[in-house]
Amino acid sequence: MKKQTIWIYQYARHYWLIMILYTLLGMMGTVIALVISMVSRDLVDIITGHETGEVIKTFCMMIGLNIGTTFLSQISNYASSYLSMKVDAEIKTDIFSKILITDWESLTNYHTGDLLTRWSSDASNISTGVLNFVPNAIIYLFRFISAFSMVIYYDASFAVFAFLGMPVSLLLSKTLLKRMVKNNERSAAMGAKMSGFNQETFSNIQTIKAFDLIHIYIERLKQLQKEYINMKLDFQRMSMGTSILLSTVALMVSYASYGWGIYRVWSGAISYGTMTMFLSLSGTLTGTLHNLTSLVPSVISLTTSAGRLMDIIEMPREDYSHDDEVAAFWNKNKEHGISLQIENLKYSYKTGTEVFKDASLEVHPHEVIALVGPSGEGKTTMIRLILSLMQNQAGSAFLFGANNPQSSDANMVELTPSTRKLFSYVPQGNTMFSGTIAENMRNVKPDATNEEIIEALKLACAWDFVEKLPMGIHSKIKERGGGFSEGQAQRLSIARALLRRSPILLLDEATSALDVATERRVLKSIMRDEYPRTCIVTTHRPSVLNICKRVYAIKNKSCVVLNEKEIDDMMRNF
């Protein structure tokens, strides 16, 4: 908890002005409440005849103070809501950006639903805690000390009753603390599990329907809900027992205060109005102690959420320190294009499984090369290594200017996250976002004109069906590319990649849903384009291999260039 608290402080220190404002508003409310209790005392004494005074004036003062308290309370609530939302948005933006630059391979250890829960629920806990915990702790302490000082000033004997319940609270605190920590951890894990189940279910609803799995998934949801309810009820039973005990103690303290007050009034030591004030202050003291105790669950929830976020954002970050170097390299080689070369690359998964031990390949502008091999042999892994989503353990991978000597170090850059700006990537599956076709296209080039979008669609052989749509490029795409066939969605994805005008294009099984004729037409269209583009295609279908400059087969954890006979044999035996 100490480490998590220090981590939270890194956020809290940015909002100290906000916390001071919130604290001052709370302290002002406390002062007004104490003044009201004194005015109330005077009013009661005036009415009962123990003291002389002006009833109307005192009564009006009482009304004015209560109205002032109401306004102050509403202003405080508004300020709290506004600031809480502002802090929540800023913290979520910060954590969102940190998650996005976290090492991709490390992130894949977490379920998407878990990541969403941590970013939304846990980040909100942090923002709420940052704003409320320290100010509320100060406000409650100020309220307690102020009320206690007034009690001591008027009659110290009443102060005893404020502390009668403290031994019980202290005895319960250690047990409660352990149970609360455990419950928060279980609750967070269960919430992530539920979120992950829901996210996967709704994302794969077509598959669930197709396999007639609806009843199975309903039963799984019921089981998860049962586990969640049992967990909550277990903690609720403990909380219920604790609340009954503390409430009983509070009632005993309250009635003891009443009894002592009646005795003091009967003996003439204090007035009836003073007794009323003491009872009010006694309630304030007891309530404030309860409020301070209630901060403990908040601290536990806060530090639990901090720990879950720390798990994510303290993972290795991607290195974007070469952005300027890459930008200068691209400006120098924009006219003639960029070549890619990989030499003696070695890579193993974190599980220890070796994928490549001596892989080499090269590709140059106006070339299309293919990577072939059985599923699971490393084609997609090679693409991810080229994109620096994964880091090779040995060997070299670099870019160099196609019109400049390869040996010139000044004209070479190693593959890093910074070099991704030089790539366009079309992965396997449907990668279109909800929105219009034009909006999807402009995701990669915000300033693209309609003419540029149409040109990219033509290049990807997608314009032939887009132009027939009632709204053309402004036609809607549903979630996960809904409303279009897989082949159409793939061509739209390729058009989006081409629109970006990156010097290197990566197509990872990006034409798998196209028929052979359309696949060849798309690749030939790309090759005819005058833009000095370097293209790498991974495929399990050999139908387009004879239009590729070179074909690399992944064999024995290496990349082997196939000759014409081997390519012909592959095509004939497919």
pLDDT in tens, 88-145: 888 888 888 888 888 888 888 887 878 888 888 888 888 777 777 778 888 888 888 8
Digit-coded pLDDT (tens) for 373-412? 887 788 889 999 999 998 888 999 999 987 765 545 568 8
Token reading at 316: 């290795």
- The band of 324, judged by pLDDT with boundaries at 50, 70 and 90, is very high
8 Å CB contact between 368 and 537: yes
Token reading at 397: 């991978």
For 435-460, the DSSP string reads EEHHHHHHTT-TT--HHHHHHHHHHT
Last residue of a domain, one of 313, 342, 374: 313
Q: Stretch 448-453: mean pLDDT, rounded?
A: 94
What does the DSSP 8-state code read for residue 314? T
Task: Give the contacts of 177 (CB within 8 A, at least 6 positions apart).
Answer: 296, 300
39: pLDDT strictly greater than 80: no
Please state whether beta strands 435-436 and 534-539 pair in parallel, antiparallel, or not at all (unpaired). unpaired
- 120 and 187 housed in the same domain: yes
Please state whether beta strands 412-414 and 423-426 pair in parallel, antiparallel, or not at all (unpaired). unpaired
450: pLDDT strictly greater than 90: yes
In a domain, 348, yes or no: yes
- 58 and 110 housed in the same domain: yes
166: pLDDT strictly greater than 70: no
- Which of these, 290, 292, 256, 263, lies nearest to 161 by C-alpha position? 256
User: Is the model's pTM score more than 0.85?
Assistant: no
- 360 and 441 housed in the same domain: yes
- 562 and 480 housed in the same domain: yes
160: pLDDT strictly greater than 60: yes
- 209 and 301 housed in the same domain: yes
Interatomic CA distance for residues 122 and 184, integer angstroms: 11
16: amino acid identity, one letter: W
The pLDDT, as a whole number, for residue 362 is 92
341: pLDDT strictly greater than 60: yes
- The band of 542, judged by pLDDT with boundaries at 50, 70 and 90, is confident
Lowest average pLDDT, out of 175-189, 289-303, 513-527, goes to: 175-189
Token reading at 410: 């000044």
Digit-coded pLDDT (tens) for 461-490? 899 899 999 999 999 988 777 788 888 888
The pLDDT, as a whole number, for residue 342 is 94
- 238 and 359 housed in the same domain: no
What does the DSSP 8-state code read for residue 462? -
In a domain, 318, yes or no: no
Interatomic CA distance for residues 196 and 118, integer angstroms: 11
Interatomic CA distance for residues 312 and 340, integer angstroms: 33
User: Chain-wide mean pLDDT for the chain?
Assistant: 81
202: pLDDT strictly greater than 90: no
The pLDDT, as a whole number, for residue 495 is 92
- 108 and 54 housed in the same domain: yes
- The band of 76, judged by pLDDT with boundaries at 50, 70 and 90, is confident
Last residue of a domain, one of 259, 286, 313: 313
Q: What interhelical angle do 123-154 and 16-48 show, nearest 10?
A: 30
Interatomic CA distance for residues 207 and 213, integer angstroms: 8
Q: Stretch 349-362: mean pLDDT, rounded?
A: 88
- 357 and 225 housed in the same domain: no
Last residue of a domain, one of 269, 284, 313: 313
8 Å CB contact between 393 and 348: yes
Percent of the chain with pLDDT over 90: 20
452: pLDDT strictly greater than 80: yes
- 341 and 307 housed in the same domain: no
- 367 and 301 housed in the same domain: no
- The band of 180, judged by pLDDT with boundaries at 50, 70 and 90, is low
8 Å CB contact between 369 and 535: yes
The pLDDT, as a whole number, for residue 25 is 81
Measure Cα distances from 40 to 8, 27, 272, 531 in Å: 42, 20, 11, 85
In a domain, 124, yes or no: yes
The pLDDT, as a whole number, for residue 361 is 93
432: amino acid identity, one letter: M
In a domain, 293, yes or no: yes
CATH number assigned to the domain comprising residue 192: 1.20.1560.10
- 44 and 193 housed in the same domain: yes
In which domain, by residue range, is 372 found? 323-573
The pLDDT, as a whole number, for residue 398 is 92
Q: Which residue has the higher pLDDT, 1 or 175?
A: 1
Please state whether beta strands 354-363 and 338-348 pair in parallel, antiparallel, or not at all (unpaired). antiparallel
CATH number assigned to the domain comprising residue 406: 3.40.50.300
Interatomic CA distance for residues 487 and 464, integer angstroms: 13
- Identify the top-confidence range among 253-257, 353-357, 570-574: 353-357
183: pLDDT strictly greater than 80: no
What does the DSSP 8-state code read for residue 143? H
Interatomic CA distance for residues 454 and 432, integer angstroms: 17
- 519 and 546 housed in the same domain: yes
Interatomic CA distance for residues 414 and 399, integer angstroms: 6
Q: How many domains does the chain have?
A: 2
- The band of 174, judged by pLDDT with boundaries at 50, 70 and 90, is low
Lowest average pLDDT, out of 58-67, 171-180, 184-193, 430-439, goes to: 171-180
Measure Cα distances from 117 to 112, 130, 192, 228, 561 in Å: 9, 19, 6, 15, 46
